[in-house]
Each structure stands twice: as structure tokens, then as C-alpha cells.
């Protein structure tokens, strides 16, 4: 087996394929798959690596390995599980440069963002390795004649369906919490970007995790269906589209099993009277251009008070006009989108927005000749609230600006979408900003700032079509465990 360090020379050359096939990782061992799939580099449209693509039989084998490992792992001391998770965090930091380049080439994002993702991943493993020892049960006072205790139990085998946009972070946040809670895990990363999840499995072996506790099986829809419908998977975490999320929820509900769904968003910046535009403009821009807009928490709508409209658009426009596009290893402002299909999707939104009367206020120079899947960022002004661009998730670098005349109109406009993931309120009057923030039906709201997805410690999830359940923070340990009540009648 090649070590991660051996991959470094190929990762430094954005035209080189990786020098190995990436097999499935089941039961603590590499397993040759029945079939292989090409993992495409979105910056070049060439094959980056050849990766195993799990069949239903191989999904079943991974679940069986997790079932064998789950009892002993779940019964182990939280301090033991925490030690191994912190050791894994140290190994991720040791190999951070290689992992960041692997994430950059696999997803297309700029190298600075790839590095930030690996830093965050190590923090997830560290965080859950530390807080699990303080994840305490409760006693319920019922009088001197009895004792009631509530304790937390792992589910057993948990399934994790990981999207292609942030595989390094999302794998670490969900698997870190699940492992800390005592579950054995089966991870299905997307075929478009599976490499860092597979690297974590290698590092977990080095850290000393028992065989079968972390299984990684890349694959497509067939593998995802087999995992989420498997009778021995006791809990499923899914991040992806609304349509697929509903299918996952139905599959779990039909078996009476819980699911945790994070299904995307159409997050809004509400720029109220009195906002500090110089402070807001660069943050709003970054929240959209981050990973070419392929972020569920991307702030894709700006709802601005009329008195500040011209000033805000004028402050944002230069960031779009000067944005650079290129291969992630060159660390441009914006990398490629994930696939040719995604290019067509974003271009469709762009064309329909123009037809609906939206005005282009600024646009980056096209990435002609780069050869990959690039879309130039566009700042749209005068976007009507009854249009597709205002209400629907694009997953591309298109920002929509809409003008309102009051705080109440701003809140109503923010709710003019089926999603409820994140939002930001910009206003120097903190009382007014807090009132507005509390009136928004979203899972996270920021005031005078924006950190998509929040920090490791902050519970994260949505409302309405953005899904249910919470990842991140201590709250995730509750998601990945179930409570059991013990009652003792004292004679």
C-alpha cells in the first residue's frame, strides 16, 4: 500500500494522474472491488484516479464488518475512543499538506480552501475526541424511594452519505461524532470526490482503530440506496439534494430508523439601514465565491435596504470583476465547478435570470482555454423575488441582489424560499439586528459576520427543505446516540 507521502509528487503537478488505484476499505483492509470508476479532476476534465465503486454486495460486506466491530467499540471507555480520535487528528495534521492537495485536486477548490478544510477536519476529530469524556447522562429526582438514570447508548452501525463539495470536512464532522459516541461507521463518499475519505481510513489504521470501526466504500446511487436501506444500518446521516434526502428519509422511516438530513439552502444576507458596507462587502463576496458557490451555506442572496443599495453593489462589484479563475493548485479566487453537468446547470440559471430581467452588475473574465469545468462568477442586480434565481439553489457562483424598503420586507423576502439553512443580518444597531435575526426561520443566523456552516463547536442544520437534525458541536453526540432510561424502585 502506498503511503500518502508517496502521492505528493503527482499532487504537485496538476496534469498528472495519481499513481495508484484506490480500492474499497472494508474491515480494516483494502478490498479489490468488483468494478472501478474514474475520478475526474474538474480543473482539467481528465482522469485523476481510478477508484473502487461499491456494489450492493460490497455495501453488505462493509455493514457486516461494522456489525462485528460495533459491540466491542461501543462498550469501550469514552477515554479510549477519545484517545484514538485525538491520535487521528494528529495524523491528519502531520499529513495536512498532502491531504489539502488531494482535496484540492479532487474537488477543484483553491488550495487555500483545501488547507482550511483539512485544518477544520483535524479540529473535528480533536473536538469529539475531547468532549466525549464529558458527554454525561442524567439522573432524575423522583424521591427517596426510587432512582432514575438516563444514559446515552450508541446506535450500533451508522451510515454516512458524503457529498462531493466538502468531503474532507463533512466526513470528519459526521464520522468524528459517530465514532466518539461508540458507533461503527460505513462511509459512502461521492464518486466525484472520494479520495480524502479513503485517506482517513488509512490514517485510522495507523492511529490504532479496531478493524471494522471505519469502513469507506465510494460509489454511486446504487451503493447509496443499498446503504440507506440496509436492515442493519441503525442511523443514516445524509448531506445532498432535497429529492435524494426525501428518498433516504423514506428508506429509514420504512425500517423505523432515524436519519439526519442536511439538504442545502438559499441563504440570505439582510443588509439593513445603518449597516457597515465596508465591513459587509468582502464577507458577502467571499461567502458566495467560496468553492465557486458550491456550498450549501453560500450566501447567494443579498436583500438590501434601498438607501444602501447603490453603495453595496458598488462595493461588491470590484471583487467579481477582478476574481481570477484557475486550477486549484495555483490558488485562484475561484476554481472549477465539479462537472460538465454542473456547468450546464449554472449556465441554465444564468440564462433564465437574464430572460427574467436581472441585470449583470459585474462579471469575472471567462476562463477560456483552461480546459476544465469553469463558470465565471456573476453579480446580478435587480433580481425580482418571483424569479428562480431569487428562490432556488444554484450551486454555482451567481449572486442575486434585491432591494427592499423596510426590515419587515427584508424578513419576508428572506422567507421567500423553501430553504432555511443559514442567514446573516448586517446592522450596527445590535438590538435591531438581534430582533431581525430571531425572526428568521433558519438553523443558523450571523450578525455582522458570516461563517458558512459555523465553527466546529456550533450546532448546524436547517429547517423546512434544508432538512432536520444537527451536526457539529456537542449536539451531534446526541444525534449519534439514543437515550435509555433505567428506573430502580428502592425497597
Q: What pLDDT does residue 453 have?
A: 59
Same domain, 18 and 157: yes
Residue 297 makes CB contacts below 8 A (sequence gap 6+) with 265, 267, 287, 421, 422, 444, 452, 453
Cα separation, 245 vs 239, whole angstroms: 8
Give me the residues paired with residue 404 across strands.
Answer: 305
Neighbours of 32 (CB within 10 A): 9
**Distances, alpha carbon 364 to alpha carbons 281, 320, 355, 360, 394, in Å:** 17, 5, 20, 11, 18
Nearest to 415 by CA among 307, 250, 205, 268: 268
Is residue 491 in a domain? Answer: no
Query: What is the C-alpha end-to-end distance of the chain, expressed in Å?
Result: 61
Q: Which domain holds residue 414?
A: 268-457
Sheet holding 36-41, edge to edge: 21-22, 46-52, 36-41
Three-class DSSP category at 233: coil
CATH number at residue 106: 3.40.605.10
Catalytic residues: 262
- Retrieve residue 308's grid coordinates: 444602501
In a domain, 462, yes or no: no
Residue appearing with cell numbers 426590515 = 407
Residue 490 lies in a domain: no
Q: DSSP code of 460?
A: B
How many angstroms separate the CA atoms of 392 and 303, rounded?
15
Together in a domain, 39 and 93: yes
176 with 197: CB under 8 angstroms? no
Residues 245, 286, single domain; the answer is no
Whether 360 and 228 share a structural domain: no
- Longest alpha-carbon distance in the chain: 82
Name 421's Cβ contacts closer than 8 Å, sequence gap at least 6.
262, 264, 265, 266, 267, 296, 297, 442, 443, 444, 461, 462, 463, 466
Low-confidence ranges of the chain (pLDDT < 50): 1-2
Residues 225 and 332 in one domain: no
Residue 314 to residue 302: CA distance in whole angstroms: 13
> What is the per-residue DSSP string for 368-419?
TT--S-----EEEES--TTSHHHHS---SSEEEEEEESSHHHHHHHHTSSSE
Residue 178 lies in a domain: yes
* Secondary structure of residue 269 in the 3-state scheme: strand
* Residue 2 placed within a domain: no
Cα–Cα distance measured from residue 304 to residue 311, given in angstroms and rounded to the nearest whole number:
10
Same domain, residue pair 274 and 209: no
Exposure on the CB side of residue 290, measured as CA atoms within 13 A: 23
Query: Are residues 316 and 338 both part of a single domain?
Result: yes
CA separation for the pair 91, 93 (Å, rounded): 5
Tell me whether residue 358 is in a domain: yes
Distance CA 41, CA 21 (A): 15
If one counts the domains in the chain, the total is 2
Q: Say if strands 21-22 and 422-426 run parallel, antiparallel, or are unpaired.
A: unpaired
Count Cβ atoms below 10 Å from residue 453 Cβ, excluding itself: 21
Q: Where are the beta strands (DSSP E) in 20-59?
A: 21-22, 24-26, 29-31, 36-41, 46-52
CATH number at residue 438: 3.40.309.10
Q: Does 293 share its domain with 156?
A: no
Residues 237 and 355 in one domain: no
Query: Is 50 exposed, middle or buried, given 0-12, 13-18 or 19+ CB atoms closer than 10 A?
Result: middle
Burial of 121 (0-12, 13-18, 19+ CB in 10 A): buried
* Burial class of residue 253 in the structure, from the number of CB atoms within 10 Å of its CB (0-12 exposed, 13-18 middle, 19+ buried): exposed
DSSP E strand boundaries for 146-196: 146-154, 157-162, 184-189
Report pTM: 0.95
Does an H or E element contain 235, and which?
Answer: strand 235-239
Closest CA to 293 of 336, 354, 244: 336
Q: Backbone phi, then psi, for 261, in 5-degree steps?
A: -120, 130
Inside any domain, residue 233:
yes
Q: Is residue 28 part of a domain?
A: yes
Are 248 and 288 part of one and the same domain? no
Same domain, 135 and 185: yes
The pLDDT value given to residue 1: 44
Which pLDDT belongs to residue 394?
96
Residues in a beta bridge with 190: 219
Let me know whether 180 and 328 are in one domain: no
The pLDDT assigned to 3 comes to 65
User: In angstroms, rounded to a whole number, what is the distance separating the alpha carbons of residues 307 and 303?
Assistant: 12
Element (H, E) at 303: strand 299-305
Residue 99 in contact with residue 201, Cβ under 8 Å?
no
Instruction: Determine the Cα–Cα distance for residues 51 and 46; give it in Å rounded to an integer.
Output: 14
Strands 259-262 and 467-468: antiparallel
- Supply the DSSP string of 81-94, one letter for each residue: HHHHHHHHHHHHHH
Question: Rounded to an integer, what distance in angstroms lies between the CA atom of residue 220 and that of residue 37?
Answer: 10
Amino acid at each position: 500500500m502506498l503511503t500518502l507521502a508517496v502521492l505528493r509528487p503527482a499532487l504537485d503537478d496538476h496534469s498528472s494522474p495519481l499513481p495508484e488505484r484506490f480500492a474499497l476499505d472494508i474491515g480494516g483492509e483494502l478490498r479489490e472491488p468488483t468494478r472501478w470508476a474514474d475520478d475526474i479532476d474538474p480543473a482539467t476534465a481528465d482522469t485523476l484516479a481510478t477508484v473502487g465503486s461499491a456494489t450492493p454486495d460490497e455495501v453488505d460486506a462493509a455493514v457486516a464488518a461494522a456489525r462485528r466491530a460495533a459491540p466491542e467499540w461501543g462498550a469501550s471507555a469514552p477515554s479510549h475512543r477519545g484517545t484514538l480520535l485525538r491520535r487521528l487528528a494528529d495524523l491528519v495534521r502531520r499529513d495536512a499538506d498532502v491531504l489539502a492537495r488531494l482535496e484540492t485536486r479532487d474537488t477543484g477548490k483553491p488550495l487555500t480552501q483545501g488547507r482550511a478544510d483539512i485544518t477544520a477536519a483535524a479540529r473535528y476529530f480533536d473536538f469529539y475526541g475531547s468532549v466525549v469524556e464529558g458527554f454525561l447522562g442524567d439522573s432524575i429526582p423522583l424521591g427517596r424511594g426510587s432512582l432514575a438514570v438516563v444514559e446515552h447508548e450508541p446506535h450500533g452501525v451508522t451510515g454516512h452519505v458524503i457529498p462531493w463539495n466538502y468531503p474532507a470536512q463533512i466526513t470528519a464532522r459526521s464520522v468524528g461524532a459517530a465514532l466518539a459516541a461508540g458507533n461503527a461507521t460505513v462511509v459512502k463518499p461521492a464518486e466525484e470526490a472520494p479520495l480524502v475519505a479513503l485517506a482517513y481510513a488509512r490514517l485510522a489504521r495507523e492511529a490504532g482503530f479496531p478493524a471494522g470501526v471505519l469502513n469507506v466504500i465510494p460509489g454511486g446511487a446504487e451503493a447509496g440506496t443499498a446503504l440507506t436501506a440496509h436492515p442493519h444500518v441503525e442511523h443514516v446521516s445524509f448531506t445532498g439534494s432535497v429529492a435524494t434526502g426525501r428518498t433516504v428519509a423514506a428508506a429509514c422511516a420504512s425500517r423505523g430508523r432515524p436519519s439526519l438530513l442536511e439538504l442545502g439552502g438559499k441563504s440570505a444576507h439582510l443588509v439593513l439601514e445603518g449597516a457597515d458596507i465596508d465591513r459587509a462587502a468582502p464577507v458577502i463576496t467571499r461567502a458566495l465565491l467560496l468553492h465557486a458557490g458550491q456550498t450549501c451555506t453560500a450566501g447567494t442572496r443579498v436583500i438590501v435596504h434601498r438607501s444602501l443599495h447603490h453603495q453595496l453593489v458598488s462595493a461588491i462589484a470590484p471583487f467579481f470583476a477582478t476574481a481570477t479563475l484557475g486550477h486549484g493548485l495555483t490558488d485562484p479566487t475561484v476554481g472549477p465547478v465539479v462537472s460538465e453537468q454542473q456547468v450546464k446547470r449554472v449556465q441554465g440559471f444564468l440564462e433564465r435570470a437574464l430572460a427574467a430581467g436581472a441585470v449583470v452588475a459585474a462579471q469575472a473574465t471567462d476562463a477560456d482555454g483552461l480546459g476544465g469545468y469553469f463558470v465565471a462568477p456573476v453579480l446580478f442586480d435587480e433580481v425580482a423575488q418571483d424569479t428562480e434565481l431569487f428562490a432556488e439553489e444554484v450551486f454555482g457562483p451567481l449572486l442575486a441582489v434585491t432591494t427592499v424598503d423596510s426590515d419587515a420586507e427584508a424578513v419576508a423576502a428572506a422567507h421567500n424560499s423553501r430553504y432555511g439553512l443559514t442567514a446573516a443580518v448586517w446592522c450596527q444597531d445590535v438590538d435591531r439586528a438581534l430582533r431581525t435575526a430571531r425572526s428568521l426561520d433558519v438553523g443558523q443566523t450571523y450578525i455582522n459576520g458570516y461563517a458558512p456552516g459555523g465553527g466546529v463547536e456550533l450546532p448546524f442544520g436547517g429547517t423546512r427543505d434544508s432538512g432536520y437534525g444537527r451536526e457539529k458541536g456537542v449536539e451531534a453526540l446526541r444525534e449519534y446516540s439514543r437515550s435509555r432510561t433505567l428506573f430502580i424502585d428502592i425497597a
